[in-house]
Amino acid sequence: MGRVNAFGSRGREGAQREKFNAIFRERSCNRKHRIRNAGWPSMRSLTNFAPSTFEERGAAVAFTTPVLSQTRVRKNLHEELEVLVSNLSEGRGVYVVPWKALPMAFPMTAHDRMLQDLIVKAEGCSPGDIRTAVLEAARCGLAGPLAVEAAEAALGDDDEQRLLINFQLIAEVLKAVGLESSEFLRCGLGSEEGQKLTRELMLKGAKKLSIEPTELYARVAELAALMQPIGLTSSPKPGRLRRLMRELANFRDSMTEWTDGNPSEAAPIGGFCAEVAEHTLNHARNVVGQFDQAMEAFETLLRQWDAKRTVVRRAATRLSWLMDGWEFLIATWAEAQGKSRHEQDLAVHELFRVLPLLPRAESASDQVSAADQVMAANRRSVRAYVDWRSGQLDMDLVMRIESIKTRAA
């Protein structure tokens, strides 16, 4: 069954969107508003916010408080953190809440208060910085023992990848300058003998490349830090983001299969999620392609470091932004498998709420307008995230988010 691509032309809707963005940006700078509603009435979703860049879109934070789950954090013009919360009155647009005011605006779980503190203490708010804070917060135990295990496993995996990538990069240096590396490969980096041998070989390598040894070490170290989440094509275990890309492809396939021939009103929304996944994946593949190309010409990369490092750094940053937020969606969808059709419909609506649309500057297609069209055609009342009788947090929902967190760490 053929599907119509939802990314249509922008038209009048697009013009309105431009106007809305202009207002929004103005309002973002207005310090008088502690909490600002930047939009007009419509459905509740972060998808009807149309940022230009990844930085403006913000990085997804794995909060366990349902209303804040996967909400985005960014820095404003004054380098202060602020968080984007989808409109609580089911209206269009998003609230921009100063980071410090968050606990006053929403009852947060103890885990989220800890996470909020850790994010403040961290220097930046890139997906990498947020991930570090999320894993640290999960490790302390405030999201339960399974989240502790998942965070420790993820941190352990990071350490393993760091060691592996260092090893591989040194082997690449040696290969690039034509030095025999079999002895080094045999000893590895773990032993004293191996480290001594590595130092000797790297000295020789630096000489051949006509680079200062300290500079060569610094370049390899910088490259290792950039490469760690991505990994090399030759890695025995693909890097975290490559694995995530593979899972995203599976998510797209699973969602497309679910959508085909499904009469549910959630099916077009699921189809849209699959299309956004496909677009994201295409962009990610391009970035990884550039990355791998740079690594293939490793000697050129080392020699023309000043020019090439920017390309590599930009590619690494872009890939982390492209994949940001998808872990939660993939884990949510995986959890919905095997559940009833109705629960799967609800899961698809939940995915749509936090779908990481590509910013306008990153993609030729206008995903926000397309999301608007999907939403307009599939209106439904969105579930509230608080217990309607008491205004208390819905602890069952918190429990579900925590269980997804253990899969998405």
Partner 1 sequence: MESQALLGLGTKLLDIDEQRFRQVVGLLEHMGDHPDVQKTFSLIRPRLVELKPRRRPTMKRLFCEPFEDLFEPLDRSAPAPLKTIERDVVNGLWPLVEAQIGKERVKSFSGALRPVAEAPDGPDMALAFWTEAGEAVALIAGQFEAGRFAEDLKLRLTPDRVRAVGDIARILSIAGPVAELKAVLAPHPVVRLHQDHLAGVQEIGRKVARSRPEALKIFILLAAARLADPSLLLGGLWNMELGQKSGDRAALFLELSGTVITQIEERSRVMKQAPRQSADRLAVADLAAGLVASLEATRSAMEQSRNSSFDQRLKAVRGSVHEMVRSQILEGATGDILEALEEMRDGTMNGAAPAQAAETRDQLLRAENHARALRKCATIADTLGLRGELKAVTQKTLSSLTDTARQLLGRGAGSATPASGSRAGFTAVRMIELIAGPAEANQIMNDVLNGKP
Residues that bind partner 1 (CB under 8 A): 65, 103, 107-111, 113-114, 118, 136-137, 139-146, 148-149, 337-338, 340-342, 345, 392-393, 395, 399
Q: Is the CB of 236 or the CB of 391 nearer to partner 1?
A: 391
Q: Which of 349, 346, 351 is nearest to 332 (CA)?
A: 351
What is the closest distance, in whole angstroms, from the C-beta atom of residue 142 to partner 1 in the complex? 5
What is the closest distance, in whole angstroms, from the C-beta atom of residue 63 to partner 1 in the complex? 12
| Three-point CA angle 378, 85, 283, nearest 5° | 70
What is the closest distance, in whole angstroms, from the C-beta atom of residue 274 to partner 1 in the complex? 18
Q: What DSSP string describes 94-142? A: EEEEEGGGHHHHS---HHHHHHHHHHHHSS--SHHHHHHHHHHHHHTTT
Which residues have CB under 8 Å from 250's CB, separation 6+?
Answer: 330
Q: Is the CB of 118 or the CB of 226 nearer to partner 1?
A: 118
What is the closest distance, in whole angstroms, from the C-beta atom of residue 99 to partner 1 in the complex? 16
Relative orientation angle of helices 213-227 and 145-176, to the nearest 10 degrees: 140
Q: Is the CB of 117 or the CB of 200 nearer to partner 1?
A: 117
Q: Is the CB of 114 or the CB of 357 nearer to partner 1?
A: 114
Q: Is the CB of 123 or the CB of 192 nearer to partner 1?
A: 123
Ramachandran category for residue 80: left, alpha or beta (phi over 0 → left; psi -120 to 50 → alpha):
beta
What is the closest distance, in whole angstroms, from the C-beta atom of residue 350 to partner 1 in the complex? 16
122 CB-contact burial (10 Å; exposed 0-12 / middle 13-18 / buried 19+)? middle
What is the closest distance, in whole angstroms, from the C-beta atom of residue 111 to partner 1 in the complex? 8
Q: Which of 45, 57, 95, 87 is nearest to 273 (CA)?
A: 45
Q: Is the CB of 84 or the CB of 393 nearer to partner 1?
A: 393
